[in-house]
Amino acid sequence: MPHQTTSGGGADVRHCVGDRAHLNSAHVNLDTHIDDVLAVLATEEVGEAVLVGHSYGGMVITGAADRAPSGVVRRLVYCDAYVPEDGQSCWDLTSDAYRSLFLDGAAANGYAVQPPSGSDSARERTSTGLFPAADPAGRGRPA
């Protein structure tokens, strides 16, 4: 998604990794995505940010908020996303069906997982070709 700013609302929407699809490789991981968010926050000198994550993006915003300096992140918004507790991974939070999907999908090139046919994510897939898994019934959420 290109950089978008709403008039007067102060909203700045970015899709960090999708804008850099040319960097898509097996070396890109959760730490890369967290670092991307932190770099935007630092470069733009953002304070009291509201980070929004969908699906796997919940992992990213949680990590970014954890690593950001005090006062940089004000709130996290999870939209049908993984909501990890300290030490939990996406693998921990997803269902057996999605674990199988990840393993089968990654077999093609070792790292990228395509969305299942007919899913909303298949229609809205990012330019990276990566599938941020979503399975609301199969993942844990903190109370």
The tokens of 101 are what? Answer: 């999907």
- Spell out the residues 6+ positions from residue 1 whose beta carbon is closer than 8 angstroms to its own: 13, 14, 15, 18, 19
The tokens of 115 are what? Answer: 């969305």
Catalytic residue (choose from 55, 70, 121, 127): 55
55: annotated active-site residue: yes
Alpha helices in the chain (DSSP H): 30-43, 57-67, 90-93, 96-106, 120-123
Half-sphere exposure of 54 (CA within 13 A, CB side): 9
Active-site positions read: 55
